[in-house]
Amino acid sequence: MKTVSRSRNAATLELHRREAAVMRMLPSEVRAPALLGVFDDDEWIALMLNDIEGVHPGGERGADIHAVLDAIAQLPAAAGLHGALPNLHEELADDFNAWTRLVADGAHETLPPLALTIRDRMIDAAVGASEAVTGEHLVHLDCRADNILIDGSGSAWLIDWPWASVGARWFDGVTYLLDVVMRGELVDVDEYLSHQLFQDLTPEQLDAVLAALAGTFYNNCRQPAPANMPTLRAFQRAEADAAVTWLTRRWA
pLDDT at residue 59, as a whole number:
76
Are 113 and 95 within one domain? yes
pTM: 0.95
Are 246 and 175 within one domain? yes
Task: Please answer whether residues 230 and 114 qualify as being in contact, where contact means their C-beta atoms are separated by less than 8 angstroms.
Answer: no
Are 18 and 143 within one domain? no
- Position 54: which residue type? G
Query: Closest by alpha carbon to 165, among 71, 90, 72, 70?
Result: 90
- Position 131: which residue type? E
Are 39 and 62 within one domain? no
pLDDT at residue 80, as a whole number:
77
Are 9 and 97 within one domain? no
Q: Which residue blocks in the chain are alpha helix, DSSP H?
A: 10-25, 65-73, 88-92, 98-104, 113-125, 129-132, 171-183, 203-220, 232-250
| 154-to-46, 127, 151 alpha-carbon distances in Å | 29, 38, 5
Are 110 and 230 within one domain? yes
Are 43 and 59 within one domain? no
* C-alpha span between 207 and 155 (Å, rounded): 29
When the pLDDT of each residue in the chain is averaged and rounded to a whole number, the result is 94
Are 127 and 246 within one domain? yes
Got the DSSP string for 133-180?
A: T--SEEE-S---GGGEEEETTS-EEE---TT-EEE-TTHHHHHHHHHH
92 φ/ψ angles, rounded to the nearest 5 degrees: -100, -5
Task: Please answer whether residues 195 and 73 qualify as being in contact, where contact means their C-beta atoms are separated by less than 8 angstroms.
Answer: yes
* C-alpha span between 22 and 139 (Å, rounded): 11
pLDDT at residue 234, as a whole number:
93
β-partners of residue 83 are none
**In the predicted structure, residue 62 carries a pLDDT above the cut 90:** no
Strand segments (E) across 29-78: 35-40, 44-49, 54-55
Are 58 and 47 within one domain? no
pLDDT at residue 83, as a whole number:
80
Range of the domain at 47: 1-51
Q: How many domains does the chain have?
A: 2
Are 25 and 79 within one domain? no
Query: Closest by alpha carbon to 39, among 87, 1, 85?
Result: 1
pLDDT per position as a tens digit, 204-229: 999 999 999 999 999 999 988 887 77
Are 167 and 118 within one domain? yes
**In the predicted structure, residue 19 carries a pLDDT above the cut 90:** yes
Strands, sheet with 148-151, edge to edge from the N-terminal-most edge strand: 54-55, 148-151, 156-158
Are 44 and 61 within one domain? no
Q: Domain ends where: 28, 51, 74?
A: 51
Q: What is the CATH number of the domain that holds 150?
A: 3.90.1200
Q: Tell me what the mean pLDDT of segment 105-109 comes to.
A: 89
DSSP letter assigned to residue 111: S
